Amino acid sequence: MRQEMSRREAAALLHNPQKPRSPHGWGLIQALWYLAFYRPIITESHLRRKNLEFIFIRFSAWQFAGCDKLWAGLVTTLCDNIRHHFGALPLSVYHVMGTRPRFASGFSQQEWVLKTGTCLKLWGLLFVLAVGLTVLLVALLVPGIKDHHALKVVGSAVTSLSGSGLVLGAVSVLKNLLVSEKQKIERLTNSERFASQLGFMSKVRNEVEVLVDFLAFMEIFERRRLRVVLEITSLDICYPEKVAGVLNAMNTLLSDANTPFIFILAVDPSVIVPCLEQTGCMKGLADNGYLYLSRTVTLPFSIPQMGARSRLRCLEAAVQTREDLMYRIITGNVERRRAKCQASPEPPSQPQLDSEAVQCIHEAFRCLHDGEDPLARYLPANGAHLRRIVNTIPVTLRLLLHRAGGLGGPGGPGVPSPRDAAAWVVLADQWPCRLSWALQCLEDTWQSQPAPDLATKSLWSIFQENVGELSTLQQPLHNVLSLDGDPELFQTFLGCDFPFTAGDAHHFLGVTVNLDHSIRHKMGLLRGLHRLQKAATTPLSCSIQRPH
């Protein structure tokens, strides 16, 4: 993400002479000036800006596990990090004098409009203050008038009233400067009347809305788009009620169409799903945690099984942390590996890989848009599922290209085409349970005694051979089975339109990111237990039939 941010920044400087600004140093004075006297306007040119900045925030749920409301810890972490990134003074001034950005009425390119009302009020206060000071000085210093007590009272009153407005504004800024949004929310949560306090969620919502409007203001000032990336970790080691609270807070923050937040939820679904099903938040969703996650997550990314090279890198990283090992042996191994890499042909450059990836992605999307292509009729009617498919196809194709070793990737000899990759993404999204079962049966067959022609065997035939066993496990797999679409369409998909083979599944399994691999793991455990039960009952029945 940082590389993409730098690339877009450099490309934007080539097309637009206006450089991005920062609210630090001289930019801080400019930001305060615009905050006080100008209203930001969201123009067409601003919406077409490609350069952006990511603000990364890491939220470890375990650090707030002792809090009564874990989601309150999420909101306070968000507020505190944004305040630290931009500085306390701009945010404090925005609380007092800032205005929400509004959209331009036409195609005007003017991004700042003078706040006439604020300027008139300020000039009026200054004028009245000057008049009051003049009257007071005249009453105190001019001979012959010093004895008029009424003039002194009028001058003092006018000066006090006009100056109090300026003092109140300065005190409000100072108050917001000393008391952060995080402290405000913590003060509300620490209240003894927290459980029954009316309007608590409304106050928290208002604080978040101020942050969103402030980010929109800073987008126009900095001349770049801003995205807040929140990485949520350690949620799968918290209590079930707290897990549901954090997910509800995520949905609340993402409820606005123009929200600048991106959530990266790093969890183990096999742990999160039972937590959700134990809480009361699943009412109305048939107590199905998988269905809740499917509707919450826009781009699922299940990390595939680690390959040999990745395992080697992890092993090297673990070895490097040991100070008691022989570094000469490690250094010799690294040098030998580098020598082998130098003897290998030069890999394609990154621009070449990006160009080919873009071509493959466009070809896959053309298949989705082609009404005559059979793939189009398998697209879901649900908008959330469509977004998941559109988000997942580029990731899958780039992973395929990376595994293929560069140019000649997807569509090359022995490698699936972009159309097949798009079809596989649709298959994993529409029938996750049935596909996981077929893949698990294929893996078990491969591990036991694989037949010579197993790679050419169709995935549908593998599913048909083991569908009876799946029907016996439908009770423990009820929630997972409810995620699947029409079973008849699944048969038509694999049996007629896209007859994927075991070899194709082997190619795709390492790059399948929109399939929850914990489902397949659960199926493997249930299948192993079912076979153990069959093996235990078979000898018993035989011994009963033997004569004594």
CB atoms within 10 A of CB 94: 24
From the list 118, 135, 223, the residue with the least C-alpha distance to 169 is 118
The residue whose two tokens read 């969103």 is 212
> What is the pLDDT at residue 159?
67
The rounded distance, in Å, linking the Cα atoms of 336 and 340 is: 6
The rounded distance, in Å, linking the Cα atoms of 290 and 518 is: 11
Would you write out the chain's pLDDT as a tens digit for each of its 548 residues?
A: 777 777 777 777 777 777 888 888 888 888 888 888 888 888 888 888 888 889 999 888 777 655 656 677 788 888 889 988 898 888 888 888 888 888 888 777 788 888 887 777 777 777 777 777 676 666 666 565 655 666 666 666 666 666 666 667 677 777 777 777 677 766 766 655 554 454 566 677 778 888 889 999 999 898 888 999 999 888 877 777 778 778 877 887 887 777 889 989 888 887 888 888 877 666 665 577 888 888 888 888 877 666 656 655 654 554 455 444 444 444 555 566 666 655 555 556 667 777 788 888 888 888 888 878 888 888 887 777 788 888 888 889 888 888 876 545 565 555 678 999 999 999 999 999 999 999 999 988 888 767 777 888 899 999 999 888 888 888 888 888 888 888 999 999 999 999 999 888 988 888 888 888 888 888 988 888 888 887 777 654 444 444 44
SS (H, E, C) 129-151: HHHHHHHHHHHHHCCCCCCCHHH
* DSSP bridge partners of 58: 231
pTM of the model: 0.63
> What is the pLDDT at residue 548?
43
Helix axes 88-97, 70-86, angle to 10 degrees: 100
The rounded distance, in Å, linking the Cα atoms of 482 and 433 is: 8
The residue whose two tokens read 């008391």 is 179
> What is the pLDDT at residue 547?
43
Element containing residue 288 per DSSP (H, E): none
> What is the pLDDT at residue 424?
94
10, two tokens: 């450099």
Sheet containing strand 102-103, strands side by side: 102-103, 38-42, 112-114
DSSP 104-118: -SSS----EEE-HHH
The rounded distance, in Å, linking the Cα atoms of 51 and 9 is: 5
Q: Any idea what DSSP says for residue 408? A: S
